[in-house]
Structure 1
Amino acid sequence: MIAGLNEASPMNPKFSSGLPIPLSAPCIVENGIVFHKTDMLRLLKGLHRVRYVHRQDSEITNSGEGCVMEVFSDPTQATIVANRSLYLNVHSFDYLELITDGHKTAQEIAPQATPEAVETTCFALVQDNRCLCLTPLPNLEVTPAIGHLDTATLEAIVTEALSASWDASLDDERNLP
């Protein structure tokens, strides 16, 4: 026990009941380091079009733009960046660092980034001497009125369109002489 702390002290990790005091969950606002894989998943699933910079041993090995196709958590699968598509596995990285508003570290991670890119939040995925830095880009394909459709909504729209097409086709067949 630490000198000066008695059983009932709030600084002691156990109160007199013997039960551990639950620690508060982390609160990260715009800048910080995220270690928990579930938190990393939640952050990365919100990304769509990104500019990426891959650094190994402080040297840029690849950079470009692409779309985040899938974010998952599987210790047996790889993170893959190919053909402007990113498949991100949070188990490929030790932690995710959020860097916002032009901090020097954002420039260090992506020195060729434009000022607009540095003013947004940068997601630096780090493992040992490797860093995959992702900077969100505006999503050109989606209009603000539509937003992002989930799979069930998209399937319902397609089903309705196909059904209407089939109905029209049947009507045409009935009207043939």
Structure 2
Amino acid sequence: MRVPIGVCDVVFRGQTYFQLADAAVFEAMPTYETLSMGQFEKRHILSDYLVSLDLSLNDENYDTLKLAYPALKDYGAGLYDNPSMVNYEGEPLIIHPISMGDDKEYDITIFSAILDPEKGLTRTYAKGVDAISIRFLGQPSEKINGNKFKSYFFIGDTEGAGIQLWRY
């Protein structure tokens, strides 16, 4: 599943980043295991997802830098790096399409998101325009509302569905 979102608000680490991306793409690619059910019969069972969110930023500022580099902390009128205080466990990330107004029907929540350690923030210069992109990866949650099962994401209003978001 590949869902282009467009301009969106993003909530991560308890902070809302308003109209953060001018383009966002959520992907949840299934992986399957093949089971042999006898000499000639095979079945495919969904075993996992590869979940990611790619954001193309329309603005670079202190907030977007802190989003892309978890080691950056506020200090006076600037930022300093403190890699010893980085939490490498995933946290809920909520993507809200601006085009939906206040309706949360098409919100996408990644239950346990981390910044892609191999990509992070990248900047490209093309045709006189700076393009900044950030990539997040989804990890499986350990439990949702006390139920233990492996889940990566939810599409819709988590509050309306009674899902409590916390660190998984």
Q: TM-score normalised by the shorter chain: which range applies?
A: under 0.3
**TM-score normalised by L of structure 1:** 0.26
Larger Rg: 1
**TM-score normalised by L of structure 2:** 0.27
Greater fraction strand: 2
For CA contacts below 8 A with separation 6 or more, give which structure has more relative contact order.
Answer: 2
